[in-house]
Chains A and B, each alone.
Chain A
Amino acid sequence: MTRDTIMVLKEQDVVPFRNRVKEYAVKIKMGLVNQTKLITAASELVRNMLRYGNGGEAIIEVISKGPYTGIRLTFKDEGPGIADIPKAMQDGFSTGKSLGLGLPGTNRLVNEFDIKSELGIGTTVTIIKWANG
């Protein structure tokens, strides 16, 4: 169990996906607070994917770098894409009717955050949370 791909196409897929992330986090002995941060971040991103990208796939992976073990989550959708990523990463910006702290808030919950988007093609967001970070 080091890699999993889960399709998230409807709202009811979110909770099982979160549970799967939790299983992985528990397996690499991630502390409870970091687990909660990771799953919350995953929840935010999966919601974005559903709302703006009509769903997509989520990949869960266990990774390691030096003495650290962590979890990498990748969210891929084929939605309209984000026009201005730096702007989307600012606190208070949102195109939808959420609170507008989705992306920057999520960024603060994880150790590494990467977003790539192309208009008309889709968006890919990758996050990493280390077990002891």
Chain B
Amino acid sequence: MFINIIKTLKNNKGEILELWMKNQLADSVLTEELISHQELRKQSEELVNALVNNLNENNINDSQSPDFDQVTELLGGISISRARLGFSPRETGSFILSLKEALLEILKQESSNVKELFEETLKLSRLLDNFTILTFETFIKGREELIMRQTDEITDISTPVIKVWDGILALPIIGTLDSARTQVVMENLLQEIVKTGSGIAILDISGVPTVDSLVAQNLLKAVSATRLMGADCIISGIRPEIAQTIVHLGIDLSQVITKATLASALQYAFKSLRLEVRKTASEPTGINK
């Protein structure tokens, strides 16, 4: 009796596609900004063909069957690309869900036996539901990859190491200093120390919203690692409320050179390099030339 449903679907491929397209387009949330109707039709046609051509009485109960490799591959590709293009989960999910509707519609037209219709519907539903789950899994995976890539980018962007003077590096830290960030900060800083042969590094934490014991611990790690390389590390940009928190939490930063502002840290650095910034007696001639 399964031959029946499969034959029916195979004979009505064209109609399934038309119905499905109608369903998809009726869904008002699907905007043409994200995908052209032409493109959508191409995707849909490919999927209908892959599904109906590979369907037989044995695999209808088994969505894991290797016969469906083409279907899962197509679905995976579509979900991933939709995740990247910024489709909503609803838009992605309704793609496959509206196919189910189209398939069931065809079944309804072909069979009048209620019991038979119910059983066939159940089978087809199960199969399509499994594909829907797969679609969501892939969609979420696509989003997660996107988030991971963005996280990496943010960490990279937000830790520039600036050479402020010969032998002096500055590293403004912006945002929370968690363990992963600390690792990136340390790596960038130490590599730059080696590259430039700088003896002094200034970690400026003006852009760090709060300092708790974990952040303080991470700062101390960066200071220790810098020292192991043979360079000195100054922490600057300590705001009054941060100084209060540090003391209230009982964090010991007494072994670290700390300054209120980047300017005073720089002044300290100049002093220890025996450099001096002075006003010249005459008007500068170089600047206006």
A contact set with B: CB distance below 8 Å: 33, 67
| B residues near A67, Cβ cutoff 8 Å | 145, 148
A28 to B12, CA, bound (A): 50
Interface residue? B62 (CB, 8 A): no
A75 to B183, CA, bound (A): 27
Is B145 in contact with A33, judged by CB distance below 8 angstroms?
no
Interface residue? B187 (CB, 8 A): yes
A15 to B183, CA, bound (A): 27
Per-residue contact bits, chain B 169-190, to A (CB 8 Å; 1 contact, 0 not): 0000000000000010001000
Tell me the minimal C-beta distance from B147 to chain A in angstroms.
Answer: 12
A67 to B183, CA, bound (A): 21
Tell me the minimal C-beta distance from A19 to chain B in angstroms.
Answer: 23
- How many residue pairs link A and B with beta carbons under 8 A? The number is 4
| A residues near B183, Cβ cutoff 8 Å | 33
Of the four ranges (under 10, 10 to 19, 20 to 34, 35 or more), the interface on chain B belongs to under 10
Tell me the minimal C-beta distance from B163 to chain A in angstroms.
Answer: 22
Q: List 4 A-B contacts (CB under 8 A).
A: A33-B183, A33-B187, A67-B145, A67-B148
| B183 to chain A: closest residue by CB | A33
Within 8 A of A (CB), among B108-163: 145, 148
| A residues near B187, Cβ cutoff 8 Å | 33
| A residues near B148, Cβ cutoff 8 Å | 67
A67 to B145, CA, bound (A): 9
A28 to B183, CA, bound (A): 20
A104 to B145, CA, bound (A): 33
A94 to B95, CA, bound (A): 62
| B residues near A33, Cβ cutoff 8 Å | 183, 187
| B179 to chain A: closest residue by CB | A108
Tell me the minimal C-beta distance from A29 to chain B in angstroms.
Answer: 15
* The 3 nearest A-B residue pairs measured at CB: A33-B187, A33-B183, A67-B145
Per-residue contact bits, chain B 183-199, to A (CB 8 Å; 1 contact, 0 not): 10001000000000000
| B152 to chain A: closest residue by CB | A132
| A31 to chain B: closest residue by CB | B187
Tell me the minimal C-beta distance from A36 to chain B in angstroms.
Answer: 11
Tell me the minimal C-beta distance from A38 to chain B in angstroms.
Answer: 14
Within 8 A of A (CB), among B57-95: none
A67 to B147, CA, bound (A): 13
A33 to B189, CA, bound (A): 13
Tell me the minimal C-beta distance from B185 to chain A in angstroms.
Answer: 12
A33 to B221, CA, bound (A): 15
Tell me the minimal C-beta distance from A48 to chain B in angstroms.
Answer: 24
A77 to B160, CA, bound (A): 46
| A37 to chain B: closest residue by CB | B183
Tell me the minimal C-beta distance from A123 to chain B in angstroms.
Answer: 28
